[in-house]
Structure formats: C-alpha cells, structure tokens
Amino acid sequence: MGEAVRVLGKLWFQVLVGMVLGIVVGHFWPDAGATMKLLGDAFIALIRMLIGPVIFCTVVHGIAGMNDMRRVGRVAFKAILYFEVVTTFALAFALIGVNLWRPGAGMNVDLAALDTKAVEGFVAQSHKQTVQDYLLHIIPNTFTSAFTTPEVLPVLFVSVLFAFALVMAGERGKPALELIEGASQVFFRIVGLVMWAAPIGAFGAIAFVVGRFGWGSLVQLGSLIAEFYVVCLLFTVVVFGLIARAVGVSLWRLIVYIRDELLVTAATTSSETVLPALMGKMRDVGCEESVVGLVVPTGYSFNLDGTCLYLASAAVFLAQATNTPLDLGQQLGLMAVLLLTSKGAAGVAGAAFVVLAATLGSVGHVPVAAVALVLGIHRLMAEALTFVNVVGNALAAIVVSRWEGAVDLDVLKAKVGLRSALSPSAQPR
C-alpha cells in the first residue's frame, strides 16, 4: 500500500496518467480535445519564462566560480567538438536508414494535388540562412532582449560575457556573485513548482494531437513513422550506448534517472520544456555546475541529435515520395547543409518543421511545398526526436564532465551506475 502511494506521488506517473487521459479525450471527443491545446501551450510558456534566468544564473555562477578563463575555453571547445561529431553521426545514420527502408518509394505524389495552404506560413519562414546571419543572430539587440526571445544562444552569449566581467572585477564582483547564487536557488525552486503542472500540460498537449490529427495520419504515413522510430531506437541503443559505455555509465539507468523529463518532453513534443529541470538533474548526478551550465544550454542548439535524424529522414522521404532523384553527391550536400540548419531548431516545439522547410529551400532539389506531406504527422515524429535530443544532451553533460575531470564519481555511481570506462577515468574534484 505504501509503495502504491509513493508511485502515485511521483511526477512521471502523474504525467503518464495525464497523457492517457489526453488520448482518451482526444479520441472520443476530438473537438474537445483540440481545444485542450491551451493547457499544453500554457505549460510550455511557463517553462519558457524561466529558461533565460536559469541559464543566466547557472552559467554566471559556474564560470565566475571556476575563476579560470582558459578552462572555460577548454570546456567549450570540448563540448562543441563532441557535438559536431555526434550530430554528424546522427545525420549519416538517418541517411543510411531512410535509403535502406525507402518509406516514400512508390507513393508517386503529385505536388499539384497537395493542399499546401496549411504550410504556407512555414514556407514563408524558409528563407536561406547564411553563416553570417546565424552568427549575428546570436548577438541580441540589447542585453535584456536576450531574455525575451525563445532562443538559447543569445542568453548564453550575454551570460558568458557577464561572467567574464565578474571575474575581472575581482573582490568588487563578489556581492553580485552571491546575489546570483541566491537567485539561482530561487529560480530552481520555481522550476520545481512549475513542473508539478506538467501532468495538466501533458493532458492538454496529447488531447490536442489526437483530437486534431486523429489516428488517420498515423495510418496514412505509417511507413515513415515506423522507419523513423526504428532509426531513433537504433541510434539511441547503438551510438548512445557506445558513448555511455566509453565513459563508464549505464545508458538505461540514465534514461530511468531522467524519466520525468522524458515523459514531459513526449507529451509536449518540445525538449525546451525540460531544459531547466535537466540542468538541475545533471548537477545532482555529480557533474560540476560550471560544466553543466556551458554544455546543456549550448547542446540545445548544437547537439540536437534527434532533430538531425528527423531532418535527414524527412528530406529524403519527401524526395522519394515525389520521385525527386537524389544521388549520393546531392545527399552529401544535403548533409552538409543540415549541419548548419539543424543548429536553428533549438528545442522549440515545431521548430524542426520550419527548419525542414528552410533546408529544402536552401538545397533546392526537393520542392518546399512537399513538406505538406509530413505536416499531419510532425508531432507524432516529434515524440521520438525530442526523446533523442534530451537523452543526447544529458549524456553530453556526463561525457564532457568526465573528459574534463569535473564530476563526483561517487555521486555518479550512485545515480546512474559506474564501471570501468574505455577512456581514462576522471577524478572527482
């Protein structure tokens, strides 16, 4: 009896109940389910409200407390190097999977017969983004405007600048550092309060998906969905499994450890909703705050492995479905473009769909209007891609922390297990 009561009090169980109820309402009362979107959007808005302050406090306190600018640069370099290698693997993995499975082969879709009205807004946003545009977009118009946009990188940029200035201020900066440390504790407590609204947000988001799109979309494009879920599963087991083994942790125990965040992500189809909570979890697992503060927020722009899997799979699927030839050279070119455009899908619900349209517009081989084919199932595919994104960033925090020797191995072992790693063991600090 006591165990049952404890389970009922767990957030993951309450989110699961909310999702089940959302499916029931969306299936039997689709009109009512479609109106529940407000609940999911409200929960996402609550979390989005806290992302900027949480990142700012964590990064500033971590870097200023580190008091070693060379080490900050070293951690950032290691993180970016790791991100680029893993996302490249993700794109290659997806291209191999979609070419072997060929889910779009034989569909023979006539673009003239497609209803593209529903995607006109997405196509309008699919302007070509250059490297210069991307870099300039990181710099906010004002210091405070970094906190009023949903993007993570502008907040990270001003946070690093502030932290460097705080270190340079020396003793005069200590009162500000103590204030930020206290504010960090307050914001994480607010995150804890907001997360208890996750079951309601999960209910609303799932009810909307089922009520709005129904199961018809699932059946109509079932081959693509099945292929994508298999690719995500294999990528998690094979690639993440090997990485976890290399750093000596149990991938399964890590997934269980962040199950609350994964369920919330599955319900809202946005990895952004768990960014603050994930940062707290990775600190609790033994990773040093300064490393977590740099790796996890940066990973939300540079380490979206699930988004890379989605973009490569969907782009080639649309080519197959519309009988658009894509030879090996063109697919490698697509992969190169995706290495840049995938960095613009920073965890926001629906952003991957916009980036897909932008990528097709940049490459020019596949008609942008073809994205109408996957509009109805995008949220169903987002269930898998956001799962991979969250697991990938949690694992990245552990990898870079062990690489840098910035992890308490006793805590790490207690939380997610620890065995002899293939790489040199890091020592706790």
DSSP characters for 252-270?
A: HHHHHHTHHHHHHHHHHT-
- Indicate the range of 46-50, 161-165, 244-248, 353-357 predicted with least confidence: 353-357
Residue 349 has pLDDT above 60, yes or no: no
Joined together, the tokens standing for residue 30 give: 């689709």
Residue whose C-alpha is closest to residue 155's, from 119, 131, 187: 187
The per-residue pLDDT for 336 is 84
Specify burial of residue 108 (Cβ count, 10 A radius: 0-12, 13-18, 19+): exposed
Residues in the chain: 429
Nearest to 312 by CA among 331, 325, 340: 331
Structure-model confidence comparison of residues 286 and 356, the more confident one? 286
pLDDT for the residue 117: 53
State the pLDDT confidence band at 313, using cuts at 50, 70 and 90. very high
pLDDT tens-digit map of 353-373: 767 877 776 676 777 777 777
The type of residue at 200 is: I
Instruction: State the pLDDT confidence band at 390, using cuts at 50, 70 and 90.
Output: very high
pLDDT at 413 over 80: yes
User: Are 398 and 415 a contacting pair, CB within 8 Å?
Assistant: no
Instruction: Answer yes or no: is pLDDT of 411 > 80.
Output: yes
Range with the largest mean pLDDT of 15-29, 67-81, 92-106, 191-205: 92-106
Q: Which of 41-55, 97-111, 302-316, 370-384 has the highest mean pLDDT?
A: 302-316
> Lowest-pLDDT range, 149-153, 228-232, 260-264?
149-153
Q: Which residue has the higher pLDDT, 107 or 417?
A: 417
Token readout for 369 is: 């209007």
| 325: pLDDT strictly greater than 90 | no
Rg from Cα positions in the chain? 22
Tokens describing residue 24: 């029931």
Which residue bears the tokens 């706790």? Answer: 428
> How does the average pLDDT of the chain come out, rounded?
81
What are the structural domain ranges in the chain? 2-416
With b for 16 or more beta-carbon neighbours within 10 A and e for fewer, the 142-153 pattern comes to eeeebbeebbbb
Arithmetic mean of pLDDT, 387-395:
95
CA distance 276 to 57: 11
Q: What is the DSSP letter of 170?
A: G
Quick one: average pLDDT of 294-300? 85
Q: Is the pLDDT of residue 345 over 70?
A: no
Residue range 20-39: mean pLDDT, rounded: 86
Q: Which of the two residues, 386 and 156, has the higher pLDDT score?
A: 386
**Would you say 359 and 338 are in contact if contact means Cβ atoms under 8 Å apart?**
yes
According to CATH, the topology of domain 2-416 is Proton glutamate symport protein (1.10.3860)
User: Does the structure show a pLDDT above 60 at 425?
Assistant: no
Query: Per-residue pLDDT averaged across 334-346, rounded?
Result: 73
H or E stretch at 393: helix 378-404
DSSP structure class, residue 273: G
pLDDT at 383 over 70: yes
> For residues 206 and 19, is the Cβ–Cβ distance under 8 A?
yes
Please state which of the ranges 109-123, 225-239, 285-299, 306-320 shows the lowest mean pLDDT: 109-123
Asked whether residue 7 carries a pLDDT value surpassing 70, the answer given is no
Residue 83 has pLDDT above 50, yes or no: yes
φ and ψ at residue 258, rounded to 5 degrees: -105, 30
Q: Residue 9: its pLDDT value, please? A: 66
**pLDDT at residue 43, as a whole number:** 83
- pLDDT value for 347: 47
Give how far Cα 311 sits from Cα of 147, 256, 307, 324, Å: 28, 27, 6, 17
Where residue 208 falls (left for φ over 0; alpha for ψ -120 to 50; beta otherwise) is alpha
User: Is pLDDT above 80 for 51?
Assistant: no
Of residues 426 and 207, more confidence is placed in 207
